[in-house]
Amino acid sequence: MKVIICGGGQVGWQIARHLSGEKNDVTVVDSNADLVRRATETLEVQGVAGFASYPDVLEKAGARDADMIIAATYSDEVNMVTCQVAHSIFSVPRKIARLRSQSYLDAIYSDLYRRDHLPIDVVISPEREVAEAALQRLAAPAAFDTESFMGGRAQLLGIALTEDCPVLMTPLRQLNELFPSLRAIVVGIRRQDSLFAPEPRDLLLPGDMIYVFTHVQDVNRTLEVFGKKTKKQERVIIVGGGNVGLAVARALEARTDRVRAKIIERNRSRAETAADGLNRTIVLHGDGMDMDLLLEASVDRADAVLAVTDDDKTNLLAAVRAKQAGCPMAIALVNDPTLASLMGPLDIDAYINPRATTVSSILRHIRHGKVRAIYSIGDAEAEMIEAQVLTTSPLAGKLIRDVDFPEGVLVGALMKGEAVLKPTGDLRIDAGDIIALFTMAKDRPEVERLLQVSVEFF
């Protein structure tokens, strides 16, 4: 597949890394020649320096025979015009645009993106994706990572195992015997910085960070099985009043269960904008790392602190300060995945990787087969893939035990109609079922082969 990625920043670079690693023909376009050089020197991609919306630049990038264009520059308007030029002049079949301004994303203006208006096939909002990820972290505060699947009926939970976990040193196969009615499967284990798909004989060890795929009704019980207490979040402090913080606060205000939220924002104009756009949320102007301000915001009585500024170090330090002041839970937004290893030593409970959420959203629209959702785990080490099983799939009509899955692939759940079922060896996979698969990066091509259908579903 030939793909043009417009924008060589964090999102564009990460998408280029994924796609070039899968042997696609990728060209990166950016007005900043240094970003283009970084992409071409570190990835197997071609590069063009220039403005992505200019027809001659797109032609130079190979737009005449491109299969897809992903417009992910920092300018919404450039992304929109790029898609228009790609459609009108070069007839590029698939166009994805990253749009950050909430005005462009309002549902009442969705007609704007029709083919005869602005021909954008898929609109991606990183801030909205990150805000949704933050809300999911708050919904499962004992998990360091979480993502919804199967229309909200299933959940992927990241759980850090401590010495008081009651099922330590227990082989995974025995968990089914101990908790036969629990609809949960351990699909991944990170041990000493190495992520792998476990086998039934593997034991759970203290310090393991495990990924569990579970029915949404069994989330709290699953957390308790692995030694985590569940507590409702009623008081939340948000450090950072930008698009992400504002989106989280608005979502909390819209919930039927009353959540008292406060925002701390150091930029005065941004703080004023947040105050004007919210009804019940208190907005404080100041530095989220200032202990006096945190105490003024009653951080010691808050249930959770969510640090979502645009600076990783600020988020980490604000989270640490909040924990020092007595807040039981801290969540930090971290762009740099190499900083994730600091979460344990710094006593930060969970983190959000905006690149992973945006990449997951874009990959959903690129994969083979009827893929409904993809979540990128770690630094692109693995993925949780949700897909519909079609009649042409090698999976259709087989029992789970009879499918020759690679050793790095595990079935998380199977959905038949509205029912989410725990995978067992004698469960039959039928055409039309929805399957959730955990796959290590090296086994992704084989998973795509198992899900692959004719090109019309590409």
The verdict on 391 and 337 lying in the same domain is no
Tokens standing for residue 243: 């698009």
Helix, strand, coil percent content, the chain, rounded in steps of 5: 35, 25, 35
Tokens 């087969």 belong to residue: 369
CATH number of the domain within which 452 lies = 3.30.70.1450
Alpha carbon distance 150, 372 (integer Å): 8
Tokens 């009926």 belong to residue: 153
Handedness of CA 405, 407, 408, 410 (dihedral sign): positive
The verdict on 9 and 118 lying in the same domain is yes
330 near 344, Cβ under 8 Å?
A: no
Instruction: Supply angle C-alpha 16, 19, 21, rounded to 5.
Output: 100
The verdict on 149 and 115 lying in the same domain is no
Alpha carbon distance 242, 411 (integer Å): 38
Question: Element (H or E) spanning 80, and its range?
Answer: helix 76-88
Look at the pTM and tell me if it is higher than 0.85: no
Count of C-beta atoms within a 10 Å radius of residue 291: 13
The verdict on 112 and 166 lying in the same domain is no
Long-range contacts of 419-423 (CB under 8 A, 24+ apart): 420/150, 420/153, 420/154, 420/183, 420/215, 421/183, 422/183, 422/184, 422/185, 422/215, 423/185
The verdict on 398 and 335 lying in the same domain is no
How far lies 148's CA from each of 132, 151, 228, 291, in Å? 10, 7, 19, 35
Burial class (CB in 10 A: 0-12, 13-18, 19+), 253: middle
Integer distance in angstroms from the first to the last C-alpha of the chain? 10
Tokens standing for residue 106: 């309002």
Question: Element (H or E) spanning 14, and its range?
Answer: helix 10-21
The verdict on 374 and 349 lying in the same domain is no
Q: Which backbone phi and psi does 254 adopt, to 5 degrees?
A: -80, -10
Question: Element (H or E) spanning 69, and its range?
Answer: strand 68-71
Q: Give the residue numbers spanning the domain of 85.
A: 2-124
Tokens standing for residue 283: 């907005």
pLDDT, one tens digit for every residue, the chain (458 residues)? 899 999 998 778 888 987 887 778 999 999 999 999 999 999 999 999 999 999 999 999 999 999 999 999 989 999 999 999 999 999 999 999 988 777 777 655 666 776 667 888 888 887 788 888 888 878 777 888 888 899 889 999 999 998 989 999 999 999 988 999 999 999 999 998 899 999 999 999 999 999 999 999 999 899 999 998 777 778 999 999 988 899 899 888 887 677 889 999 999 999 999 999 898 899 999 999 999 999 999 999 999 999 999 899 999 999 999 999 999 989 999 988 788 778 888 988 888 887 777 777 777 777 555 778 888 888 778 999 999 998 888 999 999 999 999 999 999 999 999 999 999 999 999 999 999 999 998 998 888 888 864 333 33
Alpha carbon distance 169, 38 (integer Å): 45
Q: What total of structural domains would you count in the chain?
A: 4
CATH number of the domain within which 75 lies = 3.40.50.720
Alpha carbon distance 458, 171 (integer Å): 40
The verdict on 406 and 444 lying in the same domain is yes
Alpha carbon distance 144, 138 (integer Å): 10
222 near 214, Cβ under 8 Å?
A: yes
With respect to residue 307, please indicate whether it lies within any of the assigned structural domains.
yes
DSSP assignment, residue 282?
E
With respect to residue 14, please indicate whether it lies within any of the assigned structural domains.
yes
Q: Which backbone phi and psi does 357 adopt, to 5 degrees?
A: -70, -40
With respect to residue 230, please indicate whether it lies within any of the assigned structural domains.
no
236 near 303, Cβ under 8 Å?
A: yes
